């Protein structure tokens, strides 16, 4: 038994229960055994949370971990300009580079309060080795719960797509490799540390047949579906020119709306599209910092939430958002909603819901993750809020969301520490930094 006590607690349960000073008991099964106000009299290993806020661990719903190796490039480009600059570099990825980038990205995410992350990997160079295995090993080393997706691109430039032909796969080859990844890695159990989803990259890099077959494959195997959708005006124009419809109409046509689907971005959505996402239960991974960095626009999150669309937060790849800090994304989401809709458009607690239970819904893990409730997995974060940056903001949830990114005092995944006293529990930050720097140099030197 681990007992975290004397902490403010925001449970993020359906009633929004909070305890100004309370405790959480973690059982030996890695699940939450008790939550309450005041003191806990049970015996057990005690962790003093004085000066801290305890929340559910944050859930990252959109990322491309390999991009840690290509940060700081194409800094002033639109999405299409940025992609066409970076595709040739990504064509030289290999397992060692992806492993190092994933270690850095996941370590950094853990330090930012994330306990579960997805990854969307869609570049599989022919002689690059097993890049999916490399990032899965990196997640195991850090200790995070991991939902990697087997991505794919099969629409190269010669067929009217955006990526160069040498970074795309054959359609059937991509489908077979996706099913092999499910066979090898997917754990459907409620305690799963590793789940696979099916994730063709985007309408402008994937054929219609791959979209349709991917949806059939995912449903046959009972796994989730993910892709980029409605990120930019350029994509909207592409869809109108090539398919004669909007991105969401296209998604519906190829079988890609449903409560087993979550879409990255959803920035450019009209009222009809938002209503369709709501009616079908299709989720959205909101990535406000990436959308700002690429000047893509501001997602209509207020309207999405009003239509009961499951919305989670994503940092997106580190090459389109160099901060990649999920804790900081809470404030970015709040600010973005308010830039669009004024100060009533979102409050601190709604931002925290997006980063926790909203993300759990996107990943289909809402029964086991995303709130501090008895019986759920003990994926918990203890944020230190008694320093200069936060002291004096009496509302502790407001201090977390409105204040500067808070230090993670403790992060648990299934009751096991991944961060302790602001440092990674299972990996060395300096080593991760060195490995990522070497990967970055090797990739750029190989491309020069
Ligand atoms: Zn993305």
Q: How far apart are the CA of 139 and the centre of ligand 1, in A? A: 19
Q: How far apart are the CA of 204 and the centre of ligand 1, in A? A: 13
Check: CB of residue 218 under 8 Å from CB of residue 253. no
How much of the chain, in percent, has pLDDT values that exceed 90? Answer: 99
Q: How far apart are the CA of 392 and the centre of ligand 1, in A? A: 37
Q: How far apart are the CA of 213 and the centre of ligand 1, in A? A: 21
Q: How far apart are the CA of 172 and the centre of ligand 1, in A? A: 23
Tokens of 436: 């990522």
Using the predicted structure, report yes or no on whether residue 399 has a pLDDT greater than 90.
yes
Using the predicted structure, report yes or no on whether residue 87 has a pLDDT greater than 90.
yes
Q: How far apart are the CA of 402 and the centre of ligand 1, in A? A: 26
Q: pLDDT digits over 98-134, tens only?
A: 999 999 999 999 999 999 999 999 999 999 999 999 9
pTM to 2 decimals?
Answer: 0.98
pLDDT of residue 222: 98
Using the predicted structure, report yes or no on whether residue 324 has a pLDDT greater than 90.
yes
Q: How far apart are the CA of 64 and the centre of ligand 1, in A? A: 6
pLDDT of residue 447: 78
Across the range 359-387, mean pLDDT stands at: 98
Q: How far apart are the CA of 65 and the centre of ligand 1, in A? A: 10
pLDDT of residue 446: 83
Give the whole-angstrom CA distance, residue 100 versus residue 138: 8
Q: How many CA atoms lie within 13 A of 144 on its CB side?
A: 34
pLDDT of residue 250: 98
Q: Give helix then strand counts, H and E, for the chain.
A: 15, 17
pLDDT of residue 448: 75
DSSP 40-95: --S-SEEEE-TTEEEEEPEEE----GGGGGGTT-STT--HHHHHHHHHHHHTT--H
Using the predicted structure, report yes or no on whether residue 422 has a pLDDT greater than 80.
yes
Secondary structure (3-state) at 412: strand
């Amino acid at each position: 038994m681990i007992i975290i006590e004397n902490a403010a607690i925001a449970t993020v349960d359906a009633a929004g229960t909070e305890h100004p000073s309370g405790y959480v008991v973690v059982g030996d099964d890695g699940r939450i055994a008790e939550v309450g106000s005041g003191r806990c009299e049970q015996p057990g290993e005690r962790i003093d949370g004085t000066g801290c806020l305890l929340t559910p661990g944050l859930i990252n719903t959109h990322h491309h971990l390999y991009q840690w190796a290509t940060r700081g490039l194409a800094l002033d480009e639109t999405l299409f300009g940025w992609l066409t600059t970076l595709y040739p570099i990504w064509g030289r990825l290999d397992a060692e580079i992806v492993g190092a980038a994933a270690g850095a990205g996941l370590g950094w995410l853990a330090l930012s309060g994330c306990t579960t992350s997805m990854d969307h990997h869609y570049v599989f160079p022919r002689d690059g080795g097993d890049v999916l295995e490399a990032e899965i090993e990196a997640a195991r080393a850090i200790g995070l719960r991991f939902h990697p997706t087997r991505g794919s691109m099969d629409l190269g430039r010669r067929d009217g797509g955006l990526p160069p032909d040498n970074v795309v796969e054959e359609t059937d080859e991509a489908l077979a490799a996706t099913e092999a990844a499910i066979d090898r890695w997917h754990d459907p159990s409620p305690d799963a540390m590793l789940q696979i989803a099916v994730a063709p990259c985007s309408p402008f890099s994937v054929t219609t047949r791959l979209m349709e077959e991917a949806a059939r494959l995912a449903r046959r195997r009972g796994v989730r579906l993910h892709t980029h959708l409605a990120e930019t005006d350029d994509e909207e124009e592409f869809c109108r020119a090539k398919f004669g419809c909007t991105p969401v109409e296209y998604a519906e046509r190829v079988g890609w709306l449903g409560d087993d689907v979550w879409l990255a971005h959803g920035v450019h959505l009209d009222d009809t599209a938002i209503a369709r996402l709501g009616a079908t239960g299709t989720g959205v991974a909101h990535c406000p910092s990436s959308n700002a960095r690429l000047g893509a626009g501001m997602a209509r999150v207020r309207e999405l939430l009003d239509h009961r669309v499951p919305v989670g937060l994503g940092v997106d790849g580190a090459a389109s958002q160099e901060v990649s800090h999920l804790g900081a994304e809470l404030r970015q989401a709040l600010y973005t909603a308010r830039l669009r809709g004024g100060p009533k458009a979102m409050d601190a607690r709604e931002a925290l819901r997006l980063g926790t239970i909203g993300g759990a819904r996107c990943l289909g893990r809402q029964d086991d993750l995303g709130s501090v409730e008895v019986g759920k997995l003990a994926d918990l974060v203890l944020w230190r809020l008694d320093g200069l940056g936060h002291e004096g903001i009496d509302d502790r949830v407001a201090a977390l969301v409105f204040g500067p990114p808070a230090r993670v005092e403790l992060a648990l995944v299934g009751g096991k520490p991944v961060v302790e006293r602001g440092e990674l529990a299972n990996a060395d930050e300096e080593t991760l930094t060195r490995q990522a720097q070497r990967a970055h140099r090797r990739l750029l030197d190989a491309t020069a």
